[in-house]
Structure 1
């Protein structure tokens, strides 16, 4: 459904940032320290021996015939700037702002060689020094992935049970009950936000929208929860909807059967910690993905629960690198959840997103924006830097 933001995986460009993705463009401000650095098969160049605190700009050229990842590190191995993928013959900037300390440049070549320059000393003070990131070996994400897969193993049967209940409602012609039970099933799926990329074709079969379908809502290939939603809230008969609910049960059961062979990409967890709610802002708060039920704010709430689950399995890694971040995020998620539940009417029904008050929308937008800003640090914080 709303997975566009991660279907093309981009290189992580963290820390303040080290990389200009267009060809090596000169910085517009004067460099306090830096200069050219040549990556060679036998070494990683020679930085200046001393520098003043503040901005540092290095122009790094790959003079080898292999790719290089280049880091600026301190004596505790924290990373302050990086070029994640430097191609042979290319020059890119390695730039950041440093406080007092001792630093070096490390070059990790794709042929397995690792070179580190001599250290250089930075003295003085600056008000905007970048806080370095503790490197994350790839294997450190193994435990969170296992924990998340275990959680999915308990969540998927609940989705199946909810789908079977929905199908049973439609089978006996009780479309009123089906509307209630449709929402239960839909929210059960929406909480699985970090796993969509692992579900392959099952994602479209279970929760696909009309986006990209040539005949839109009339397209005969449209299936899953949103197709059922459209039918339920646009006057379709139980006879028309029943094949869709039957197919939904089959797809969910197929996902469960196939799940043991599917892999959760370790890199998806840090990315989805931010992107679940990024997509919520784009598709749920705007009601773009709503197919008639008017429950996109309920979906947004389920997305906050999915985000919280991802943060839970990543907790040890986040806490080790930025103490206090998770507590702040937890408070911000709770605030947003309160904003969303405040839009429900006196009967507890969800108000359609276009119908909430201006004050409610402004409060949701402001609190979600702040939460997204803080969540956006996690992909950089937990980007694998095995040889940094």
Structure 2
């Protein structure tokens, strides 16, 4: 990644500190680029299933660090919350038995408590801590997510995919009809339209089961590579259309594509979308696009991987729109900035093709980009991925916080 992104300071986390103790991952949130411990003394706290430590009854506002030791025999998640647990201000996601990690935050005047959630069930809270005085750049806290908070976005996403699948089927049938009458020039045009219709559904791919490999699988790892008889779907059709195959050779592939999309439509209502997968897809769609589309890895002859990347950006925007209410509550301004970055990336992709040689559908092949253009696109996508990578943690379920 060649360019570091611009960040606004989110209420949940400004700097994300990761530490590993006994195989456990700890996440401590602070509100500044410098560690929250700057200028603060470290307070030692030992927690077990009988009590979540004994912090001081009073503290001054500003940076505070609790060095938390798990004295129990099981893993524990530790939060700094208000006494009722309505808002959290810092957390250690996992702390291993007999290990220690810092819990850091910058707190305003108010009442706080430590809350311990042990992996085998017990939840205990410390006595309250009264914080007095004033300090700059303190944490406003965040409402802890529960797994049910994501049910509505997932339901909306299922509805969006369900509405889009018939249009995908229409596009696949148009492609098959082109090949059936031997019009391979029309087939190349309609192949791109159909393929992009599928790629815009990128966030749902993990819920398509075996249909995803059948519809859009790569030849990587197949015994016969691009000549393997088991290779089907859009990329296999692309390879035949752009490598001189006759209509008789292409037709079985387009017929199977229609059959597979029809099967997917029938199967999709029974497929599960894990609620916690949706925030992951907001990052993973374009992470895959960086690996397979911007590099040209998936180009089977049409030179349209930049068009695929553009479709992936649209799919990411759809996921982001559904997660916007939850994200705005936890990081005001993040979605607006991501929307601007996604729009800018689409503009750059289209400009790169307009300035290039122009191939299928007017798109320039990734391997035909000049070095400066490729570096600009790589930098923009890398910067965007760094910001999108924040979403899974922002929207991680914290059921017992």
TM (norm. structure 1) is 0.86
The structure 1 residue matched to 2:363, chosen from 340, 350, 355, is 350
Residue in structure 2 matched with residue 148 of structure 1 by the alignment: 157
Which SS does the other structure have where 2:353 is aligned? coil
Cα shift at 1:122: 5.2
Residue in structure 2 matched with residue 11 of structure 1 by the alignment: none
1:4-43 aligned within 5 A = 16-17=15-16, 20-23=19-22, 32-40=41-49, 42-43=50-51
Count of residues paired in the alignment: 373
Residue in structure 2 matched with residue 368 of structure 1 by the alignment: 381
In structure 1, what is the Cα distance between the partners aligned to 2:390 and 2:25? 25
Residue in structure 1 matched with residue 217 of structure 2 by the alignment: 208
Question: For residues 242-261 of structure 1, what are the alpha-carbon distances to aligned partners after superposition, in whole Å with 9 as ceiling and x for unaligned?
Answer: 11111111111111001111
Question: For residues 154-198 of structure 1, what are the alpha-carbon distances to aligned partners after superposition, in whole Å with 9 as ceiling and x for unaligned?
Answer: 111111111111111112221111111111111111111111111
Which SS does the other structure have where 1:59 is aligned? strand
The structure 1 residue matched to 2:289, chosen from 277, 280, 293, is 280
Asked if the contact 1:17–1:81 (Cα under 8 Å) also holds between the matched residues in 2, the reply is no
Asked if the contact 2:25–2:94 (Cα under 8 Å) also holds between the matched residues in 1, the reply is no
Residue in structure 2 matched with residue 98 of structure 1 by the alignment: 106
In structure 2, what is the Cα distance between the partners aligned to 1:117 and 1:160? 58
In structure 1, what is the Cα distance between the partners aligned to 2:155 and 2:283? 20
In structure 2, what is the Cα distance between the partners aligned to 1:44 and 1:222? 56
In structure 1, what is the Cα distance between the partners aligned to 2:264 and 2:281? 20
Asked if the contact 1:317–1:382 (Cα under 8 Å) also holds between the matched residues in 2, the reply is yes
- The answer on 1:336 being equivalent to 2:345 is yes
- The answer on 1:383 being equivalent to 2:396 is yes
Cα shift at 1:150: 0.6
Asked if the contact 2:341–2:384 (Cα under 8 Å) also holds between the matched residues in 1, the reply is yes
In structure 2, what is the Cα distance between the partners aligned to 1:22 and 1:243? 55
1:29-108 aligned within 5 A = 32-40=41-49, 42-50=50-58, 53-54=62-63, 56-61=65-70, 63-64=72-73, 67-74=75-82, 77-86=86-95, 89-101=97-109, 102-108=111-117
Cα shift at 1:125: 7.4
Cα shift at 1:34: 3.0
In structure 2, what is the Cα distance between the partners aligned to 1:245 and 1:32? 68
The structure 1 residue matched to 2:313, chosen from 304, 312, 316, is 304
Question: For residues 320-361 of structure 1, what are the alpha-carbon distances to aligned partners after superposition, in whole Å with 9 as ceiling and x for unaligned?
Answer: 222222221111111111001112248761001121233322
The structure 1 residue matched to 2:269, chosen from 260, 266, 276, is 260
Which SS does the other structure have where 1:343 is aligned? helix
Which SS does the other structure have where 1:21 is aligned? strand
In structure 2, what is the Cα distance between the partners aligned to 1:221 and 1:22? 46
Asked if the contact 2:95–2:101 (Cα under 8 Å) also holds between the matched residues in 1, the reply is no
| CA distance 1:282–1:133, change in 2 (3 Å) | farther
Cα shift at 1:67: 4.6
In structure 2, what is the Cα distance between the partners aligned to 1:243 and 1:116? 64
* Farther off after superposition, 296-305 or 101-110: 101-110
Asked if the contact 2:92–2:103 (Cα under 8 Å) also holds between the matched residues in 1, the reply is no
Cα shift at 1:304: 0.8
In structure 2, what is the Cα distance between the partners aligned to 1:148 and 1:155? 11
Asked if the contact 1:99–1:123 (Cα under 8 Å) also holds between the matched residues in 2, the reply is no
Question: For residues 262-314 of structure 1, what are the alpha-carbon distances to aligned partners after superposition, in whole Å with 9 as ceiling and x for unaligned?
Answer: 11111111111112112211211111122221101101110111011101111
In structure 1, what is the Cα distance between the partners aligned to 2:152 and 2:92? 27
Asked if the contact 1:49–1:120 (Cα under 8 Å) also holds between the matched residues in 2, the reply is yes
- The answer on 1:195 being equivalent to 2:204 is yes
- The answer on 1:119 being equivalent to 2:132 is no
In structure 1, what is the Cα distance between the partners aligned to 2:223 and 2:58? 62
